[in-house]
Structure 1
Amino acid sequence: MTTELRVLDPADWDNWYAVLELAFGGVPESDEERKLWQELTEHERSIGAWDGDRCVGTASAFTFRLSVPGGNVLPAAGVTMVSVAGTHRRRGILTSMMRRQLEDVRSWGEPVAVLTASEPEIYGRFGYGVAAYSTHATIDTTRVRLTVPEGTDQVALRHTTPAEALDAMEALYARTVRSRPGMLERRPGWERLALLDPPGDREGASPLQCVLAERDGEVVGYALYAVKPEWSYAGSDGSVSMHQLTGLDPAAEAALWRFLCSVDLTARVRMRSRPVDDAWQHLVSDVRRCEPTLRDGLHVRLVDVGAALAARAYQAPVDLVFEVEDAFCPWNEGRWRLTGDAKGARCAPTDDAADLALSVRELGAAYLGGVSLVSLAAAGRVRELREGALVEASVAFGSPVAPWLPHGF
């Protein structure tokens, strides 16, 4: 039995998306959610695997721009909607789609591909490395106190609806993209993702609520959240689910955290997918009672090693030759000389002796500055060929702030 890979015809979207839904358990999405993803799908960047007239595999790539160390943003393919029908597993369909997709990404001139993984172990064999992690936590507001910085009391808070606040939230988000690697510039249409709130997904919580933080009439922060009322024999035991929180300065962020931790009739604040160096960890009196857990976030794949490494800045001067292994994208194989500093970089093929040897997966993991090449070497995934080169590279590749993906795709 053979399959054919084809660019998605818009007329086939329902059939194609049904394969994806079935692969993720078969639970139908709300009309609101399905309509949004249909409108965001870029058909010319989507492929399906067809067995005769049946779609048996899906893959797509959104057009994004990704922030990297140094504040630059570069074109990136947001790999998404990947699935293979359970009836057609272990036939090489996923591998063929991944290879076709990376060849397409290269032809589009996008040096990096990124994704979030439903099963992280799948994508390493295609050259993706985990480059950004996130923290999940639950603040026990009955036992944890917050100490806020000077100026917090000068921040005014205003309750509004998410729809009314959308333009202000998008403008503020846009101001923060270049401040942290791993963030995505949102294209028109993506602002609607923040408002997606299907009633069937609320699990007893309220519709989304919004609070704006303002100073001198300017919006300097916002929080999107929902409240789930619950009661025990001892009284109120509700919870606040924080969906998004952004502030332009420490006082604005602290004012929003303080508000969420003091919502009436609640005993906890639940957060998902926050930066691993997020400031809330230093505001709370007892981080242990917040039960932080770590999870993989953004997976990065360098599609064009030279262009990708040249697109970011380095926090220390670097002049190194990498011996890169990349059997899946052979155009990346070989030695690359990287020279650069905080102002910019160059990266080109070379015949010079290599200083470090690694696969493209490790370069992807270290690319945003959140994963140390030293730690990868300790796991046997990077080999030092010149003494001192490993530390030089690790320092140069680092970032003063942890990379973070603020939302999925």
Structure 2
Amino acid sequence: MTVELRVLESGQWDDWYGELERAFGGVRESAEERALWRDLTEYERSLAAWDGEELVGTTGAFSFRLSVPGGSLVPTAGVTCVGVRSTHRRRGVLTAMMRRQLDDVRGWGEPLAVLGASEPPIYGRFGYGLATERLRMEIDSVRVRLAAVSGADEVRLRLVPPGAGSAACEAVYARRVAGRPGMLARQPGWERLPLLDPPSERRGAGEQQCVLAERDGEVIGYARFCVKPDWDEAGPKGSVLVRDVEALDPAGYAALWRYLFGVDLTSTVTASNRPADDPVLHLVSDIRRCRVRVRDGMFLRLVDVGRALAARTYAAPVDVVFAVEDAFCPWNEGSWRLSGDQKGAVCERTTDAPDLSLSVRELASAYLGGFSLTALAAAGRVRELRPGALTEAASAFGHEVAPWLPHGF
């Protein structure tokens, strides 16, 4: 079988996206969703796999800027729309697309690639490592209480139509990006994504709502949510389904969660994508009644090891030589000396003896500070070649804030 990869043309979008929908079960998305993704598609960065006249595979890459430890926004390929027709699986189509895509990303000068995996086992063989986690919480808002936070009572809360509050929400979001690794600086057009609210996706809930937190006339936070009503013989037992909560200070954050806990006719607050260190975990009175579950979040790939490691800062001084294995992107193979601290870093090839040996996947998992090199070594995935090097590197790669990807793509 010969499959040809071609850059997507604008006139092919409907067939291309329809092929992706088929790969994910064949349910056609709403006109609102399709219109958004058509507008956001970067055609020159999207690929279609053709078997003769049949379109049998899809993939694309958004041009993002990803926050890394130290606050820099690093050019990053956001891998998306990956699908292969069922008749052509296990025939090398996905591998061919990943090969072409990573070559392209390298050519575009982007040192990182990220994705959200529909099936986590797929992307490890292409050098992607799990870099962030996300929490799902189902909180019993009748029995669980929130701790008092100084200043929360002075925060004014105001319900607004989601579209009317969009600009204020985006301004808060933009101020939050540099402070948490894994967040994406939203490019023009992406402010539409949080407002996407097709009736087909509500699953019994009402329309999206938006509440702004204000102090002295300035918006300092927001929450976007919807309410799913429910009743039994004892009365109302609806759910507040949280989509976004962001705030610039603890008082604003606590005030927003207090509001969500107090929505009329509800007894549960559910949030499906929160950071692993969400402050709300320390506000609740009973963590057991919050039913917290951890799931995989974003997978990350170091496309250019040297540039990627030099793009972030390090929590402690580090001077370590990594022996990196990377069969899929052989330009990364070999020894790299990383020297850095909280002010910056340099990472260059070296002929010096290596201190640590690992694959590019382990570097990816440790890159944003979400997973410790020490833990990876305990799993046999990192080998210490110089005594003390593991502690030095693990301390340097750590970060005080857990990395988190706030939305999919």
Provide the TM-score with structure 2 as the length reference: 1.00
The match for 2:25 is 25
Partner of 1:184: helix, strand, or coil? coil
- The aligned residue for residue 326 of structure 2 is 326
> What is the identity, as a one-letter code, of the residue corresponding to 2:317?
P
Cα distance in 2, alignment partners of residues 174 and 148 from structure 1 = 27
| 1:177-256 aligned within 5 A | 177-256=177-256
* Residue segments in structure 2 that go unaligned for 5+ positions in a row: none
Alignment of 1:247-266 (within 5 A): 247-266=247-266
Q: Distance in 2 between matches of 1:342 and 1:148?
A: 34
The 3-state SS of whatever aligns with 1:380 is coil
Counterpart in 2 of 1:52?
52
* Residue of structure 1 equivalent to 2:171: 171
CA shift at 1:42, angstroms?
0.4
Instruction: Name the structure 1 match of 2:390.
Output: 390
Shift of 1:149: 1.1
Instruction: Please say if residues 148 and 251 of structure 1, whose CA atoms lie closer than 8 Å, have aligned partners that are also in contact.
Output: no
Report how far residue 79 of structure 1 moved. 0.3
Q: What per-residue deviation string (whole Å, max 9, x for no partner) do you get for residues 181-232 of structure 1?
A: 0000010000000110000111111100000000000000000000111100
Match of 1:153 in 2: 153
Question: Within 1, Cα distance between the matches of 2:204 and 2:121?
Answer: 33
Name 1:310's counterpart in structure 2: 310
1:63 aligns with 2:95: no
Distance 1:218 1:278 in 2: 24
Matched residue SS, 2:353: coil
SS at match of 2:298: strand
What residue ranges of structure 1 are gaps of 5+ in the alignment? none
Look up the match of 1:300: 300
Match of 1:78 in 2: 78
Q: Percent identity?
A: 66
AA aligned to 1:16 is: W
User: Aligned-pair RMSD on alpha carbons?
Assistant: 0.5
Whether the aligned pair in 2 keeps the contact of 1:137 and 1:271 (CA below 8 Å) is yes
**CA displacement, residues 301-327 of structure 1 (integer Å, 9 cap, x when unaligned):** 000000000000000000000000000
After superposition, give the CA deviation of every residue in 1:86-118 in whole Å (9 maximum; x if it has no partner): 010111000010010000000000000000000
The alpha-carbon deviation at position 272 of structure 1 amounts to 1.0
In the alignment, what sits opposite 1:360?
360
Matched, 1:131 2:131: yes
Cα distance in 1 for residues equivalent to 2:382 and 2:297: 22
Instruction: State whether residues 72 and 312 of structure 1, in contact with CA within 8 Å, keep that contact through their aligned partners in structure 2.
Output: yes
Q: Distance in 2 between matches of 1:267 and 1:289?
A: 12
Q: Which residue of 1 is the match for residue 348 of structure 2?
A: 348
Partners of 1:280 and 1:405 lie apart in 2 by: 17
Matches of 1:12 and 1:128, distance apart in 2: 29
One-letter amino acid of the counterpart of residue 291, structure 1: R
TM-score after normalising by structure 1: 1.00
Letter in 1 for 2:86: G
Deviations for 1:41-87, whole angstroms, at most 9, x for unmatched residues?
A: 10000001101111100010000000000111110000000010001
Task: Report what 1:88 is aligned to.
Answer: 88
- Tell me by how many angstroms 1:148 deviates: 2.5
Matched, 1:401 2:401: yes
Listed one character per residue, the Cα deviations across residues 211-264 of structure 1 (whole Å, up to 9, x for unaligned) are 000000000000000011110000001010000000000000000000000101
Secondary structure of 2:281's counterpart equals: helix
